[in-house]
Chain A
Amino acid sequence: MMNRRNFNKLLGAGLVTAAAPKIVTPALAEDVLKVGFVYFGPVGDFGWTYQHDVGRMDIVKKFGDKVKTTYVENVPESADAERVIANLAAKGHKLIFTTSFGYMDPTIKAAKRFPKTYFEHCAGYKLASNVSVYEARFYEGRYVQGVIAGMMSKTGVAGYIASIPIPEVIMGMNAFLLGMRSVNPAAKLKFIMVNTWYDPGKEGDAAKALIDQGCDIVTQHTDSTAPLQVYAQRGIKGFGEATDMLKFAPGAQLTASVNNWGPYYVKRVQDVLDGTWKSANTWGGLASGMLEMAPYHNMPDNVIAAAKATEEGIKSGKIVIFKGPLKDQKGIAKSTEGVVLDDGSISSMDWLVEGVVGDLPK
Chain B
Amino acid sequence: MQLKLEPRGFQSKFWSYASPVLAIALTIATMAVIFLVLGKDPVISLYTFLIEPLVAENGATELLVKASPLILMGVGISLAYRANVWDIGAEGEFTIGALFGGGIGLAFPDLPFSLLFPLMLIAGMIGGMLWAMLVALLRTQFNANEILTSLMLTYIAQLILIYMVTGPWRDPQGFGFPQTAMFSANATNPTIIEGTRLHLGIFFALAAAAAGWLLLTRSLLGFQLRVQGFAPRAARFAGFKETRLVWTALALTGGLAGIAGTLEVSGPIGQLTPQISPGYGYTAIIVAFLGRLHPIGVVFAALLLGLSYLGGEAAQIELALPSAVTGIFQGVLLFYLLGCDTLILYRLRLRSSRPAALRA
Residues of A within 8 A of B (CB): 1-2, 4, 7, 10-11, 14-15, 17-18, 21-23, 36, 42-43, 70-74, 76-80, 82-84, 86-88, 90-91, 101-102, 104-105, 109, 113, 124-125, 164-167, 170, 195, 347-350, 361-362
| Nearest B residue to A76, CB-CB | B278
Q: How far is the CA of A188 from the CA of B56 in the complex (A)?
A: 55
Which residue in B58, B162, B269 is a CB contact (below 8 Å) of A79? B269
Known pairs A79-B269, A170-B176, A347-B175; A165 contacts B58 (CB<8 A):
no
Residues of B within 8 A of A (CB): 41, 43-44, 47, 51-52, 54-58, 60, 62, 65-66, 159, 162-163, 166-168, 175-179, 182, 195, 197, 264, 267-271, 273-279, 309-310, 313-314, 316-318, 320, 322-323
Q: How distant is A352 from chain B, measured CB to nearest CB, in Å? A: 12
Q: How distant is A126 from chain B, measured CB to nearest CB, in Å? A: 10
Known pairs A73-B322, A74-B323, A82-B268; A164 contacts B313 (CB<8 A):
no
Note all chain A residues with C-beta closer than 8 A to B279: 76
| Nearest B residue to A91, CB-CB | B317
Which residue in A74, A77, A104, A348 is a CB contact (below 8 Å) of B275? A77
Are B175 and A80 touching (Cβ within 8 A)? no
Are A14 and B52 touching (Cβ within 8 A)? yes
Are A79 and B268 touching (Cβ within 8 A)? yes
Note all chain A residues with C-beta closer than 8 A to B278: 76, 78-80
Most buried by A among B54, B58, B279, B318: B58
Are A361 and B163 touching (Cβ within 8 A)? yes
| Nearest B residue to A18, CB-CB | B55
Note all chain A residues with C-beta closer than 8 A to B273: 77-78, 102
Q: How far is the CA of A303 from the CA of B275 in the complex (A)?
A: 41
Are A125 and B57 touching (Cβ within 8 A)? no
Which residue in A84, A109, A125, A166 is a CB contact (below 8 Å) of B313? A84
Are B58 and A86 touching (Cβ within 8 A)? yes
Note all chain A residues with C-beta closer than 8 A to B270: 105, 109
Q: How far is the CA of A113 from the CA of B168 in the complex (A)?
A: 32
Are A164 and B274 touching (Cβ within 8 A)? yes
Q: How distant is B267 from chain A, measured CB to nearest CB, in Å? A: 8
7 A-B pairs with the lowest CB-CB distances in the bound complex, closest first: A79-B268, A76-B278, A361-B167, A361-B166, A74-B323, A90-B57, A14-B55
Q: How distant is A230 from chain B, measured CB to nearest CB, in Å? A: 22
Note all chain A residues with C-beta closer than 8 A to B65: 79, 83
Note all chain A residues with C-beta closer than 8 A to B55: 14-15, 17-18, 23
Q: How far is the CA of A2 from the CA of B162 in the complex (A)?
A: 48
Known pairs A18-B54, A78-B275; A70 contacts B317 (CB<8 A):
yes
Known pairs A78-B278, A79-B65; A4 contacts B264 (CB<8 A):
no
Note all chain B residues with C-beta closer than 8 A to A91: 56, 317-318
Most buried by B among A43, A78, A91: A78
| Tally of A-B Cβ pairs under 8 angstroms | 127
Note all chain B residues with C-beta closer than 8 A to A11: 47, 51
Q: How distant is A95 from chain B, measured CB to nearest CB, in Å? A: 15
Q: How far is the CA of A269 from the CA of B197 in the complex (A)?
A: 30
Note all chain B residues with C-beta closer than 8 A to A350: 176
Q: How far is the CA of A113 from the CA of B65 in the complex (A)?
A: 17
Q: How far is the CA of A73 from the CA of B322 in the complex (A)?
A: 8
Note all chain A residues with C-beta closer than 8 A to B167: 361-362
Q: How far is the CA of A84 from the CA of B178 in the complex (A)?
A: 22
Q: How far is the CA of A91 from the CA of B317 in the complex (A)?
A: 9
19 A-B pairs within 8 Å (CB atoms) are namely A7-B44, A14-B51, A14-B55, A70-B320, A72-B313, A72-B323, A77-B275, A78-B278, A80-B309, A83-B310, A90-B58, A102-B273, A102-B274, A105-B179, A166-B175, A166-B177, A348-B176, A361-B167, A362-B168
Q: How far is the CA of A17 from the CA of B55 in the complex (A)?
A: 6
Are A42 and B323 touching (Cβ within 8 A)? yes
Are B275 and A76 touching (Cβ within 8 A)? yes
Are B177 and A7 touching (Cβ within 8 A)? no
| Nearest A residue to B317, CB-CB | A70
Known pairs A23-B55, A42-B323, A102-B273; A166 contacts B178 (CB<8 A):
yes
Note all chain A residues with C-beta closer than 8 A to B47: 7, 10-11, 14
Q: How far is the CA of A70 from the CA of B179 in the complex (A)?
A: 29
Q: How distant is A48 from chain B, measured CB to nearest CB, in Å? A: 16
Q: How far is the CA of A72 from the CA of B44 in the complex (A)?
A: 19
Q: How far is the CA of A102 from the CA of B318 in the complex (A)?
A: 25
Q: How distant is A145 from chain B, measured CB to nearest CB, in Å? A: 22
Are A195 and B57 touching (Cβ within 8 A)? no
Note all chain A residues with C-beta closer than 8 A to B66: 80, 83
Are B56 and A87 touching (Cβ within 8 A)? yes
Q: How far is the CA of A348 from the CA of B56 in the complex (A)?
A: 40
Are A102 and B320 touching (Cβ within 8 A)? no
Are B316 and A165 touching (Cβ within 8 A)? no
Are B276 and A78 touching (Cβ within 8 A)? yes
Known: A83-B197, A91-B317, A348-B176. 9 other contacts (CB 8 A): A11-B51, A36-B317, A74-B323, A77-B275, A78-B276, A87-B317, A90-B58, A170-B176, A350-B176
Are A23 and B317 touching (Cβ within 8 A)? no
| Nearest A residue to B63, CB-CB | A83
Known pairs A7-B43, A10-B47, A105-B270; A82 contacts B54 (CB<8 A):
no
Note all chain B residues with C-beta closer than 8 A to A72: 313, 316-317, 323
Note all chain B residues with C-beta closer than 8 A to A347: 175
Note all chain B residues with C-beta closer than 8 A to A83: 62, 65-66, 197, 310, 313
Which residue in B175, B179, B316 is a CB contact (below 8 Å) of A73? B316
Q: How far is the CA of A109 from the CA of B276 in the complex (A)?
A: 16
Q: How distant is B110 from chain A, measured CB to nearest CB, in Å? A: 22
Q: How far is the CA of A255 from the CA of B51 in the complex (A)?
A: 48
| Nearest A residue to B270, CB-CB | A105
Note all chain B residues with C-beta closer than 8 A to A87: 56, 62, 313-314, 317
Note all chain B residues with C-beta closer than 8 A to A166: 175-178
